[in-house]
Structure 1
Amino acid sequence: MGKKHQGRESTGEPLQHDPEFAGPLKNRSCTDIICFLLFVAFLAGWGVVIVFAVINGDPSRLLNPTDSRGRVCGMREYANKSLLVFFDLTRCATPKVIATGCRTPQVCVETCPTENWFFNPASPQINSKETRAKLICQDGVDPFDTTQSVSDLVTKDKCAYYYVQSKAFGDRCIPRDISSQSGHIFNAINATLSQTQKWGPISQYAVLEALLKSMKYVMRFATLQKVAEGVFQDVKTTWWLLLVGFGVAMVVSFIWILLLRIISSFMIWFSLIAFIALSGFGSYYTLNKYLTLRKNLDNSTMSPSEFEFTTNFNQIVELETTWLVLFIIIVTILIVCLFVLIFLRKRIRIAIALIGQASKAVGSIMSTLFFPVVPYLLQLVCLAVFCVVAVLLASAGKAEYRLMCSIDDCQCDGIKENETCSMDSFNASNCPGASCQFYDYVVDPNIPRLHIYNVFALFWTMFFVSAFGEMVLAGAFASWYWALNKPKDVPTFAVTSSLGRTLRYHVGTLAFGSLIIAIVRMVRVLLEYIDHKVREKTDSKVVRCLMCCCKCCLWCLERFLKFINRNAYVYCAIYGKNFCVSAKNSFSLIMRNVVRVVVLDQVTDFLLFIGKMVVVGSVGVASFFIFSGEIKPVEGYLPEINYYLAPVIIITIGTFFIASAFFSVYAMAVDTLFLCFLEDCERNDGSAEKPYRMSKDLMKILEKKNKLKDE
């Protein structure tokens, strides 16, 4: 008896029958007011960060390259000069170029060099107009000024010492395939390097090697921008196709939900069969692709050049390893799904009945299908504000200049490489081998803190909006469940009433619950950052294992807290209690029915997830076949794009969020009705005095029934 009593104390006493209880209580008061005030103050602080970012940020610094004087190519007075040329690209032949910059003057130009040119001091035409016309000089330097010889212009780094035929890559002039023009470069080097000590006593092969190496690091620096520009161009070209894809995804999701409302049992089983069929087809297709590429020696040994593999994004699809990995993933998912169906087939029948109840609730309150558009748009606004502020903060700061040496070490008194300098006061005549160049934009020491504030604001607002949508829907579906005569007693404006109660009384509760999840998510992000730094300094497997365990524990904690919060919002929507009381009562109710919760609730989530994946998979596969050219009749109507996978990925991701918005209604309906069902079983026993509020279909499956008064 002691153990039984102790168990009741730990999980709370079962709920008692209340004949006057008929759903969400109308008489309630404001909850968690302190958290509400804290949330308002935090939003005000975010507003201050936004104003600071708008005043000090300049996104063009991130989108365009910057010359040695800190001026942005392609912007303002350099609108016609959008490309960046390096005077001596061999100075970029170091992995540190991404962090320290290239130790050579850089200027903005209209077009990249179209020929190879090397300075030859012994040439009789060295000071001719033809030679001066070929010079690429810093801004403000006139190559036709006869008071300065070409030798002075070149040796003082006012003009480029040499350049080779180049192409634009990421708004930077990068040499073309040097192997195809190596003969011309060899001849030019032989004619010029033997008469100068610019590079020192090195061979033409060393210069070529330095050029190749420098190309690699500079291209790595520009690759991300290049790919981003290509994807942006594809989005710009195919925007109408993306909208069509999103429209199709919305129509398919809506039709699926309507069919689920009418024939829920058939649609659930159809979802399972369709998911298995799609997984089976995916397994066959990926395996067939892998075997086909395996037989092709060119593809199996294909190794794109070191300079182009990151930009030839479409070649990823032609690699056999890609299809092998996809095959393993799809087969694993298929096997897991089959095991779930085999071992939980009895529970699936009950879960389908619960989803059927959710279908009836959605059918009685059709406005719940359209309400998720509101939190969805609010989340888009929060995400857009975060992205804009992040870009503006990243581009805020003042230009910093540092001393750069054209040789390995500056042989001048008082000159030390990488020291800060001033463009106005620096005198190049004191040390011909040194120059004062733009290095980076120095930001205020507080900006990293503003970045952290901005990230946390994203998490808190996103989770707050999600919690807001959950509580509003929970209040609407709870009013449907507890109505004794359905749908006659269901409130006409159930969603509007729940929305009003939530905004008037429970914004503080939403802020409290979302704050907890935001803190855990922020800790996870910081842990990821620490893990990244640890990997750079050590390869210890013990440390990596500990970090992995910590990340896993935090992920589990976040999932658990989300589960607690979701049920707390349901309880708060019904009874109007604060977050702590709602979380305690809902958790106690769940623990008293832990077996049902673990099995039945998770199975319903799994079934809804399968349905969502069928919609996403169908639209994603269709878009893949269309944009990859597999469907020949449509191929002629498609515009030319850089990466055909870009619109496929965008449509698939968009479809996932669209389908999630529709299926989230059912997920919330199931969770609300399930919690109400557990309460119903504790409050009532089916007698005439305590009748069950659940539907007859659910009572039939659970082998329960209401007794009439004369029985």
Structure 2
Amino acid sequence: MGQDDTKEYGESIKYDASFKGPIKNRSCTDILCLLLFVAFLAGWGVVTVFAALHGDPSRLLYPTDSMGRVCGRGELQNKSFLLFFDLTRCATPKVIATGCPTPQVCVEKCPTTNWFYNPVSGDADMRPYLICQDGVNPKNESVTVQQFISSGKCAYYYVESEPIGRRCIPRNVADHAENIIAAIKASSSLSIYDSFEILEAILKAMKHVMRFAKFQQVAEGVFQDIKTSWWVLLSGFGVAMLVSFLWIILLRFISAIMIWFSLIAFIGLSGFGAYYTLNKYLTLRSGINNSTMTAAEYEFSKEISRFAELETTWLVLFIITVTILVVCLLVLIFLRKRINIAIALIGQASKAVGDIMSTLFFPVIPYVLQLVFLVLFCVVAILLASAGKTEYRIMCLEDGCGCPNVKENDTCTYEEFNNTACPGASCQFFDYVVDPNIPRLHIYNVFALFWSMFFVSAFGEMVLAGTFASWYWAFNKSKDVPTLPVTSSFCRTIRYHIGTLAFGSLIIAIVRMIRVILEYIDHKIREKTDSKIIRCIMCCCRCCLWCLEKFLKFINRNAYVYCAIYGKNFCVSAKNAFSLIMRNIARVVVLDKVTDFLLFIGKMVVVGIIGIASFFIFSGEVKPAQKYLPEMNYYLTPVIIITIGTFFIASAFFSVYAMAVDTLFLCFLEDCERNDGSEEKPYFMSKDLMKILDKKNKFKEA
């Protein structure tokens, strides 16, 4: 890039004899954004209080009977399972959203026997077997069994059932089809189907109910796995933290060896992954061809428990691992010379980290803060999702309610309606009616999560940037580095630049929120149209927004470095940092981005090692470990959680190096513009860095 090209990005930074690193005399920046952020957090607190007052998470975890009461809670504490009177009424996909329009009662346990209404039998013989709604006394001699059943107060059949998702799902319905059909036909006005239609309706109903019930069963199974294996998960996180810490320590002393080892290990892991997945695919292909099964045969829980048995899964994993392997090899071949320079730059960053070891432990603070905000978001989201009042609606038989002035889906009052004589209709719990502002509160909660998470991330970046800038601008790295540089940078950031962090994180949060809204719109469009043109436009918009977010994160990161050094507001810092980068764009692309790639490879090697080890341990490949592990519903649960946790833990450690490289590189670019290596304008960079980048001081240092 020639001299004329750089002028449009501003003049080079002039020499300043008084400049010795991050300035001390500074003022508060972007105060309006600080006030806006504080007000927004206060609003989040108001949303949290509202959610806590109106939410009831038990509604999401436990089923609800026809009266809107939660099974297993309050007066129904000993009745945790939901029984449907007539599953033929559930033969619609809408049952997942609106519930099944048949009486539902909470019971202590699911039926272990079969019973079918038979009008030939006497009332006395049938009363002990009746399952009725609360408040109905089957022993009441003044009411016949026929009246109980006709009014919908008691079930007219039930079969042996198993609890799935706390709902009683019948076993072997086909074996009792004739008895069920007879019971339905014998219950007066309910005989609206012929025999085949009744059986078909039962099977359809079971499919729709089981789909929802099994989804809940999987969620409960995963939760149970986490509960029983919590110590295993914590142990896995501890091992991940130890491996990451040791990796960083070794990187301090043998950076070149560790980087090359990371590259070779990553290629090795990718190659092994390609071999293992291909071998699994070929093994499964030679056996049962699961790909021929219909989608209906794979309910959610089956997919989870049999995930590792699907040949398609291993084929997809094979393609992914081979692609990663090829890309890594191409990068290694074409950038091998630049990699040596980038390794040396990482070595300098490792020296800065080694001289200020407290930087390795600082990420714990933003990590904990992000965890707090994430937990707060989840709690508020659950409470808002469970907020609302019970709503009852009239539900009729297929041939209508049979009563004047009674219309299906009209709202009703449970106690009043069920005391009226209308055998063809019933007042059933329909849904929880939420306040119309709840969706807006959900949006507020999501945006609050984005803003707070990006704010905490920005805070950690600025503190580390100020720390490493203090190290770089110390002429004698062994003597002139300030005492407690992390603490000093932390205090400067808290005192002066919270508003700047709020400004930068707000921009990223807005872009991320737009991306989420666009994803929602794209999902709705896919449901209503198959137009390839519209889908292509949406895909382009999503891609552009993704690129915009990445670009803004890059600008923000360098703006925080500049702000940490000079104490300017966000806009000025971003402008100056961008101008400096554009004046040296060739160096940025060649060195800075290659070092980011190498650090990413190192992080993925740590994640890969822990992830593969946990997979072999929990899948039963490591036999000696089996006797120490608890029994679990899905062995993939701890594998996935440990792998994801390892990624975040490794990211916390490697982010220190990434920030060190970015800060030192930006300082190096400024050092090259400020100084020329003469005795009056000496370079502040270390001797090793000068050697790497072909620079030297033209005088003999003391």
Q: Kindly indicate whether the alpha-carbon contact (under 8 Å) linking 1:116 and 1:185 is maintained by their aligned counterparts in 2.
A: no
* Paired amino acid for 2:87: L
Residue of 446, 460, 468 corresponding to 2:451: 460
Residue among 459, 465, 474 paired with 1:474: 465
- Deviation digits for residues 417-458 of structure 1 (CA, Å, limit 9, x no counterpart): 111111233255342111111111111111111111111110
Cα displacement string for residues 281-301 of structure 1 (whole angstroms, at most 9, x for unaligned residues): 111111111111111136666
* Distance in 1, Cα, partners of 2:506 & 2:347: 34
CA shift, 1:196, in A, is 5.3
Aligned to 1:493: 484
- Pairing 1:357-396 to 2, within 5 Å after superposition: 357-396=348-387
The reply to whether residue 290 of structure 1 matches residue 288 of structure 2 is no
Deviations 1:535-564 (A, max 9, x none): 111111111111111111111111000000
Instruction: Tell me what 2:546 maps to.
Output: 555
Question: 1:590-669 maps to which residues of 2 (within 5 A)?
Answer: 590-669=581-660
In 2, distance between residues paired with 1:540 and 1:304?
24
Indicate if the aligned counterparts of 1:402 and 1:437 stay in contact, CA closer than 8 A. yes
Conserved in 2, the CA contact under 8 Å of 1:104 and 1:406?
no
CA contact (8 A) 2:128 2:138 kept: yes
Aligned partner of 1:11 in structure 2 is 9
Deviates more, 1:209-218 or 1:274-283: 209-218
Structure 1 distance, partners of 2:422, 2:593, is 73
- Does structure 2 retain, via aligned residues, the 8 Å contact 1:216–1:307? no
Aligned to 1:163: 158
| TM-score normalised by length of structure 2 | 0.97
Question: Which structure 2 residues correspond to residues 216-615 of structure 1 after superposition, within 5 A?
Answer: 216-297=207-288, 306=297, 310-311=301-302, 313-615=304-606
Q: Deviation per CA, 1:302-349, whole angstroms, max 9, x where unpaired?
A: 679737563452211011111110000000001000111111111111
> Contact 2:679/2:698 (CA < 8 Å) preserved in 1?
yes
What percent of counterpart residues are identical?
74
Task: Tell me what 1:111 maps to.
Answer: 109
Root-mean-square deviation (Å): 1.8
Q: Deviations over 1:349-393 (max 9, x none)?
A: 111111011100000100000000000000000000010011111
**1:483-541 CA deviation, whole Å, 9 max, x = no partner?**
10012111120000000000000000000000000111111111111111111111111
Q: Does 1:67 align with 2:65?
A: yes
Q: 1:204 to 1:309 in 2, by over 3 A?
A: farther
Partner of 1:174: 169
User: Which of these residues, 687, 692, 695, is aligned with residue 696 of structure 1?
Assistant: 687
Which of 668, 675, 678 pairs up with 1:677?
A: 668
Match of 1:139 in 2: 134
Distance change (3 Å), C-alpha of 1:191 and 1:518: closer
Name which of structure 1's ranges 8-17 and 105-114 shifts more when overlaid on structure 2. Answer: 8-17
Q: Structure 2: how far apart are the matches of 1:436 and 1:418?
A: 9
In the TM superposition, residue 660 of structure 1 has moved relative to its aligned partner by 0.5
- Single out whichever of 454-463 and 112-121 deviates more from structure 2: 112-121
> What secondary structure is seen at the aligned counterpart in 1 of 2:415?
coil
Q: What secondary structure, in the 3-state scheme, does the structure 1 residue paired with 2:394 have?
A: strand
* Deviation, structure 1 residue 703: 1.7
The CA distance in 1 between the partners of 2:40 and 2:659, in whole Å, is: 28
Match of 1:95 in 2: 93
Q: What residue in structure 1 maps to residue 39 of structure 2?
A: 41
Give, in angstroms, the shift of residue 407 of structure 1: 3.1
Q: 1:307 to 1:674 in 2, by over 3 A?
A: closer
Q: Could you tell me which of 121, 124, 129 is aligned with 2:121?
A: 124
Instruction: Provide closer, same or farther for how the CA distance between residues 190 and 573 of structure 1 changes in structure 2, counting only shifts above 3 A.
Output: closer
Q: In 2 relative to 1, CA 467–313 (structure 1 residues): closer, same or farther, beyond 3 Å?
A: same
CA positional deviation for 1:598: 1.8
Alpha-carbon distance in 1 for matches of 2:220, 2:465: 44
1:124 is aligned with what amino acid?
S
Give the deviation of 1:668 after TM superposition.
0.5
- Change in CA separation of 1:503 and 1:102 when aligned onto 2, cut-off 3 Å: same
Q: 1:373 to 1:155 in 2, by over 3 A?
A: same
Counterpart pick for 1:149 among 141, 144, 149: 144
2:52 and 2:351 mapped to 1: Cα distance? 49
1:689 shift after superposition: 1.5
Q: Which amino acid aligns with 1:409?
A: G
Secondary structure at the residue paired with 1:641? coil
Post-superposition offset of 1:701: 1.9
Distance 1:95 1:477, change over 3 A: same
Shift of 1:193: 5.3
- What does the per-residue CA deviation read over 1:441-481, in whole Å, with 9 as the maximum and x for residues that have no partner? 11111111111111111011000000000000000000001
Flag the 1:298–1:340 CA change in 2: closer, same or farther, 3 A.
closer
Work out whether residues 250 and 658 of structure 1, in 8 Å CA contact, stay in contact via their aligned partners in 2.
Answer: yes
The letter of the residue matching 2:54 is N
Shift of 1:408: 4.5
Alpha-carbon distance, 1:8 to partner: 4.2
Amino acid at match of 1:437: Q
**SS of residue matched to 1:425:** helix
Give 3-state SS (helix, strand or coil) of 2:628's partner. coil
Residue matched to 1:210: 201
Q: 35, 38, 51: which is aligned to 1:53?
A: 51
2:177 is the counterpart of 1:185 = yes
Q: Which runs of 5+ in 2 are unaligned?
A: none
Q: Do the aligned partners of 2:110 and 2:163 also contact (CA within 8 Å) in 1?
A: yes
> Which consecutive segments of 4 or more residues in structure 1 shift more than 6 A?
302-305
Structure 1 unaligned spans of 5+: none
Q: In 1, distance between residues paired with 2:295 and 2:530?
A: 29
Structure 2 counterpart SS, 1:173: strand
Shift of 1:4: 5.9
Please give the secondary structure, in 2, of the residue aligned with 1:174: strand
Q: 1:147 to 1:248 in 2, by over 3 A?
A: same
CA distance in 2, matches of 1:538, 1:531: 10
Tell whether the 8 Å contact from 2:149 to 2:187 is kept in structure 1 after alignment. no
Q: Which letter does structure 2 place at the counterpart of 1:388?
A: V
Paired residues of 2:447 and 2:513 also in contact (CA < 8 A): yes
Counterpart residue identity of residue 101, structure 1: G
Instruction: Work out whether residues 66 and 429 of structure 2, in 8 Å CA contact, stay in contact via their aligned partners in 1.
Output: yes
Q: CA deviation at 1:208?
A: 2.3
Q: Which amino acid aligns with 2:304?
A: F
| Kept in 2: contact 1:87–1:159 (CA 8 A) | yes
Which moves more between the two structures, 98-107 or 80-89? 98-107
C-alpha distance in structure 2 between counterparts of 1:85 and 1:408, whole Å: 24
